[in-house]
Structures are given as C-alpha cells and as structure tokens.
Structure 1
C-alpha cells in the first residue's frame, strides 16, 4: 500500500510539472512584431519583422556591428545583421520578381543585411527563412546578394519597413531605423504575370464571361502582350462561343489590335462595322481619336454621321466643331460651337464650349 501511494504521488508530481512547464501566458514582445505588404501589378511583396527601438543607444557600429560577425551563439561564425530583432526578418514574393535588378523566385526568404561603415551595405536573401535571427546564417543557402547604397532619413525610433516610389511595376522597400535607410528596389514583369494568370483562369469559370476575354485582349494590346494571341481572344468575345456578343467595345479593341499589327485596311473595315452599334458618345470619342491620329477627313466623316443620326443633340455639333477646327475651317467650326452652346446639358459643359468659342474667335485650334 505504501508503494502504491508513492507511485500515485510521483504521477501527480509529473503531471503538475508537465502542466506548469508547458503553460505560457501571452505577453508583449520587447520588439513588437509587424507586417507590411505592397501590391505591385497583381503581385504582392510582404515583409514580416520585429521592431526594436533606438532607446538612446548608439546603433551603427555598436548595437548593429559592421561587417560579418561571430555573434557568440548558434552555428554561424560570420553572420550579417538580422534586419530587425528576434526571429528572421522575412520577405515574401507572390510571383517571380527582381530585387535590385536580380531575379528571385516566388517564395519566402530570410532577409539579412551586412552593414558597412560607409554608405554601402549588402542585402542578403536566404533560402533559410525559419531560423532565429542570423545566428544560424549559412552563406551556402544564399538566394540573392545585392550591393545597396544607404540613405539618410528622418529619425525613426522604431525600426520600420515602408514602401515608397510605387509604380506600375516596381516599388522601393526601405528599412528605416535611427537616421539610416536601406532601400531595396523590387520589381515584377507585370505583363507576363497578368497574362499567365488569365491563361490559367480562362480554363475555369472566368472563361465563360465575354468581358474577361475583352479585358485580356485590351490589356495585351496596351501592355506589350502577344498581339496575335490577343486577336484570338477578342475574336472569341465577338463570335463563335456561347457567351460571344458583337459590341462596339470589342470591335473597337479588335480594330486597334489590327491597326497595331499594321493591318490598317482591316482595322478601318472593323470600325465601319462597329459604328452602327455605338452610342453617340462612343462615336464622338472615336472621332476625337481619329483627329489625334491625323486622319482628319475620316474624323469629319464620322462626326457628320453622328450628327445625321442624332440631329441637334449633345454633343454632335461639338464634334463637328472639332473636326472643322482640325482642318483649319474656323468659321464653320464656330457656327457649330454656337449650336453646341445652346444644347449643352449643364453649366460646366457650357463653360467648356464657351472657352472653345473664345479660342476660335482668336483663330486658335480647339483640339
């Protein structure tokens, strides 16, 4: 019986110790965790990090030593700075990207920086994204190295990653701490990414909607995509599929693709087919496009057709005024603008018409 009681006591002690050892309360980190993300095109860059404070400490060359160092823990004897605090700072690319002009595959990487005692630094992205800081840094696992130039920034008490100078295909991700900034240029080859995404989606539910084929063709047209492929996409939107429907919009996209392929006569024929399907404003805008391209006789023909079909309505006289002004016939243009002034739909429109009347009276083109 005594032995049995001893066994029960031992089991209770083990259970107590196990529960006590595993129990943890959730407390704030000294260096709070943070995450920042930026969309570029249809791709995302996400940086996760911890934010140490300056706290009146000398940072560069002291708290953050220069060069590669033996940190006295872990397996690395030549470690860079962890670019933050605590666990690895990580950077994730949703698609293949370029960092400082160097290619990097989609995925998550450990982000490290070798800080140097001048305005230079080495950015290091590591395949090992799950280590604690840089204590286990292994150069053989480097995915990318790039030399960067640091900048002077306003004082940042907390280490901060921020995205600046965002464009349609790139952004600058800057680590800013104390008064030093570490800018990293991240870019994506947006057009292939968008079109590859569409090619995949076209096999699914998105491929059953005409507008998606139109949008894909138009994007390829305006962003350096394969024009022959884009022509096939817009043809699918126009005819031959259960979702197809001939509209002014998709015929105009087709004409623009044909024009860019150098098939001018075919493009003109498609637009002639499209015009009867157009609204008064779509015809007006097409006429203005022709003026921009220097096709003044064709522009006058289009504006005249619009005026015949939509007698004395807004904005047919405005269109005719633009066409005659482009041809230098200012008196005829002025006559049409005065008619446009009468049927302008609101004060803002009347103001624009009057401003153009003033220009024509000075013998100035209104286009």
Structure 2
C-alpha cells in the first residue's frame, strides 16, 4: 500500500511539472494596431502555416465559411465609423469571416465576435457588411497565414489577406475629411457655448478671476438663449453671487428653478430654492 501511495504521488508531481511546460503554439496569435487617418484600427487573429499542405481548395475548402485564420475567429475593431464596399460599419468590433473560392472571396464583417471559429450557420441579421474581393495570384508561397493593413492614405486602407499563393484585398474608408473639416469649422467659428460654460465653471470652482468667470458665463447663457439649460443658469447664479451681484444671482436662480420644475429635476429645484432663501429671493 505504501509503494502504491508513493507511485501515485510521483505521478501527480510529474503531471504537475509537465503541466507547467509552455510550448510554442502551432498557430500563434498576432495583434496589429494601425492608425488610418484619425481612426484606430486593431486586428487580432491566429496564424496557421502551410507545413507542406495544399491550403485553398483542400485544407480550406472552397465555398465554405472560414474563420479566416485559426483558433478563435479573427476580430477587427474600428474606433470610428468606416465604410466597406459602400456599406457603413459603425465604430466597434467585428468578426471577419470569409468564403474562399478560386477567383474571388466573400468577406463578411459579423456583429457577433463571441465565436470560436466560424458559426455553423450565419445569422443574416448579424452580417454588418459583406463584400466580394478578387483573388490575386502571388509569385511565391506565403508559408504562414498573414493579414495586413496596406495602401494607407488619410482616408482609407486595405485589409490584406495572404496565404499560399493567394492575396485578397478589402478596401475600407474612414471619415477623416469630415472629422477634420468639422473641427476646422468649429475652431474657426470660435468657442462654443459649452466651451464658455466649462471655462467659467472652472474659474469659479478653482478660485480664479471671478469677473472673467462672470463674462464667460454671461456669454454662454446668451448663446443658450434659444434652448436655456437649468444647470447652466444654476452656475450663473452661483458665479454672480460670488461676484457680489445678488440681484443677478436671484434672477438666474429663479430662471433655473422654473426650468428645473418644468423638467421635474428635484435636486435642482431644492438647490435653487435653498439659494433663493439664502439670498432673500423667496
């Protein structure tokens, strides 16, 4: 019995030691991060190798949905909205599935990324975009499955897929021009109401020049005049009070109170009433 127990202990220790040995993965993981214009794009996938095997039409059958790599499905993430083949893709993460054929591939951007490999059946409601891409024949074998970001411009890039002698390119476009144009227009038009409000509040809360805070807050309130905000008027009342303008503080607090009551915001109703009592406005 003692010998049996010793043997079991030795086997257990041996298994524990073996379980801690790390060996190379046959299809190693790769993560690529690329800035395209102003959009951050991240690609995560696993990379199988040929190892003397015929790949397309054999290891990867033609006409069947493929995970586009190995292990967990390939995932691409966009920080902003993009367009693929004239189809809009919202910012977010997508699984990249493909259906390879000899002359062209279907490339599918799928909303559900929680798959291990390709799903048995595609849920069409989760297909965010689907494009057909031509297969280009390379003059040499690409031993290890490779994905890349090619042909970079400020407004677009190409998602490249290479293995064996096949290269497939999927162009996607980013909204760089719109983002930059909107930023230029905003800057050239000067600070917004939100900018004046934020600056005034910072000066007030940081104990900086209160007269400057009054000027900025008055500008913000004037810019909001077509759609006044009760929280902005609340800040105006506090800034006016600190600046010694009790009359202006009471006027702003009453306006804030009326809007807070209309919006049903109990917190601002109470804060305004408390301040009005303190300032003799009620």
TM-score, length-normalised on structure 2? Answer: 0.57
1:160 and 2:117 matched = no
CA distance in 2, matches of 1:24, 1:111: 33
Determine the C-alpha separation between the residues in 2 that align with 1:165 and 1:159.
19
Q: C-alpha distance in 1, partners of 2:95/2:134?
A: 20
**In the alignment, is residue 35 of structure 1 matched against residue 31 of structure 2?**
yes
Specify the alignment match of 2:271 in structure 1: none
Following superposition, the deviation at residue 43 of structure 1 comes to 0.7
Q: Which residue among 57, 60, 73 is the counterpart of 2:56?
A: 60
**Structure 1 residues 134-181: Cα deviation after superposition (integer angstroms, max 9, x where no partner):** 144533322211111121234211111122211111011101111101
Q: What root-mean-square deviation, in Å, do the aligned CA atoms of Structure 1 and Structure 2 show? A: 3.1
Deviations 1:65-102 (A, max 9, x none): 0112xxxxxxxxxxx01110111111111111112221
Question: In structure 2, which of residues 72, 80, 85 is the aligned counterpart of residue 100 of structure 1?
Answer: 85
**Whose strand proportion is higher, 1 or 2?**
2
Q: Give 1:24 shift.
A: 5.7
User: Aligned equivalents of 1:116 and 1:37: distance in 2?
Assistant: 28
1:130 paired with 2:130, answer no
State which of 121, 124, 130 in structure 2 corresponds to 1:145: 130
CA 1:139–1:25 in structure 2 vs 1: closer, same or farther (change >3 Å)? farther
Residue of structure 2 in register with 1:347 after alignment: none
Larger Rg: 1
Aligned match of 1:171 = 157
Q: Matched residues in 1 for 2:96 and 2:192: separation?
A: 47
Deviation at 1:28, TM superposition (A): 1.8
Inter-CA distance 45–235: structure 2 relative to 1 (3 Å threshold): closer
Task: Identify if the C-alpha distance between structure 1 residues 235 and 67 changes in structure 2 by more than 3 Å, giving closer, same or farther.
Answer: closer
- The separation in 1 between residues aligned to 2:97 and 2:189, in whole angstroms, is 46
Contact 2:155/2:176 (8 A) holds in 1:
yes
Runs of 4+ with deviation above 3 angstroms = 23-26, 191-196
Q: How many Å separate the matches in 2 of 1:60 and 1:88?
A: 18
**Unaligned 5+ runs, structure 2:** 194-198, 201-282
Instruction: Spell out, residue by residue over 1:248-274, the C-alpha distance to the aligned partner (whole angstroms, 9 max, x if none).
Output: xxxxxxxxxxxxxxxxxxxxxxxxxxx
How many residue pairs were aligned? Answer: 184
Q: Report the TM-score, using the length of structure 1 for normalisation.
A: 0.45
Structure with more contact order per residue of length (Cα contacts < 8 Å, sep ≥ 6) = 2
Q: 1:171-230 deviations in whole A, cap 9, x for unaligned?
A: 11101111101111011111333577xxxxxxxxxxxxxxxxxxx5xxx2xxxxxx4x44
Could you tell me how far apart the structure 2 residues matched to 1:91 and 1:29 are?
22
Match of 1:113 in 2: 98
Shift of 1:55: 1.4
Matched residue, 2:254? none
Q: Distance in 1 between matches of 2:90 and 2:119?
A: 24
Shift of 1:234: 7.8
Query: Tell me, which stretches of 5 or more residues in structure 1 are unaligned?
Result: 1-8, 69-79, 197-215, 221-226, 243-367
User: Does the CA contact (< 8 Å) of 2:82 and 2:174 recur in 1?
Assistant: yes
Matched position secondary structure for 1:233: coil
